[in-house]
Amino acid sequence: MNATILHGSDAIRVTDASIEGEALWLTPDALARTTGWEWTPEGLCRDATCVPVPPGAPWVRGSGSASRIDLGGLARHLGRPVAASPAHGVWAIGESHEALGDRLRSLDAPEFTLPDLDGRVWSLRDFRGRKVFLLAWASW
């Protein structure tokens, strides 16, 4: 079954998902592809961080490569916000408020990458060494 996972500006499609009620069951491969979380004997790992999977966690079925992970359940376990429209096969996963807040409190300007009208992509880091007056506006 097809599903779309929204994460930041990304919209990632998966073709081998299973939707049951509010749950989106993903294979370990699909989970790694869409979220970066790898299913390992130590638990779920991304970069240098591993999160143990509690025994009997309701968001895990099966074991090994036959495992299925409910994306929403995992996100909530990690303290991340989830909004879903199962009827449309769409799940949005946000950053935790702790992560968002810690980054702002550090006063290191959050990195971003966005396009201009010509499709050229710019990142904040492109302006290092110069002052940046960053102005957000809208047409509405």
Partner 1 sequence: MVTVALDSAGAAAAGEWIRAAQPTHPALIDAHYDLATRYHLVNVPSAVWIDESGRIVRPAEVAFADNRFIAYTKFDMTRYLDAIRDWVDRGEASPHVRPPAARRARLGLPGAAQAQAAACFRLAEHLHAEGHAEAAVPFFKEAQRLEPESWCYKRQAWALTDAERFYSTTFQDEVKALGGRPYYPRPDFPPDSPPDVSKETAEP
Chain positions contacting partner 1, by CB under 8 A: 4, 6, 8-9, 11, 80-85, 87-88, 90-97, 100-101, 103-105, 107-110, 112, 114-117, 122, 124-125, 127-140
How far is it, in rounded angstroms, from Cα 122 to Cα 85?
A: 32
How far is it, in rounded angstroms, from Cα 39 to Cα 45?
A: 7
Based on CB atoms, which residue is closest to partner 1, 20 or 122?
122
Looking at residue 119, what DSSP letter applies? S
Based on CB atoms, which residue is closest to partner 1, 59 or 91?
91
Tokens of 75: 């996100």
Query: C-beta of 96: minimal distance to partner 1 in Å?
Result: 6
Query: C-beta of 123: minimal distance to partner 1 in Å?
Result: 10
Q: Is 86 helix (H, G, I), strand (E, B) or coil?
A: helix
First vs last Cα of the chain: how many Å apart? Answer: 37
- Locus of tokens 């968001």: 59
Query: C-beta of 63: minimal distance to partner 1 in Å?
Result: 30
Based on CB atoms, which residue is closest to partner 1, 64 or 137?
137
- What H or E segment, with its residue span, contains residue 75? helix 71-77
Based on CB atoms, which residue is closest to partner 1, 56 or 128?
128
How far is it, in rounded angstroms, from Cα 72 to Cα 84?
A: 8
Query: C-beta of 18: minimal distance to partner 1 in Å?
Result: 20
